[in-house]
Amino acid sequence: MNRRLRELEGRAGPDPCPACSDCFAVHIRGELDTLGRDGAEADEHQRAEYLEHTRWARRNGGACVVCGREPLEIRIPEGASPGAASL
């Protein structure tokens, strides 16, 4: 799993965004489960900041309001099997 996460983190765009780059989120059943920033677990302040930013992004059609890219997230829906996830 860690190898897969590192590969996904490597997909970030070439021009880092000050608002969303270096963030990697895992949502389980609609709730933010894990948030990494710069390869380390985010603290509570960073989690709150990320959630606020993604609220604005959803209002913008799902894209970051600063750079226009989609966030780097894994979403595991309610009732999904352990291997199921959407990016």
How do the pLDDT tens digits run along the chain, 87 residues long? Answer: 566 666 666 665 566 777 777 788 888 888 889 898 777 888 999 899 888 888 888 887 888 888 888 777 888 887 766 555 555
- Write down the pTM of the prediction: 0.64
Q: How many domains is the chain built from? A: 1
Q: List phi, psi (to 5°) of 23.
A: -105, 140
Print the domain residue range for 28.
2-76
In-domain check, residue 32: yes
**Residue 48 confidence (pLDDT):** 92
- Is 83 a member of any domain? no
Q: Are residues 86 and 28 in contact, defined by beta-carbon separation less than 8 angstroms? A: no
Domain for residue 81, yes or no? Answer: no
Residue 84 placed within a domain: no
Cα distance from N-terminal residue to C-terminal residue, the chain: 14
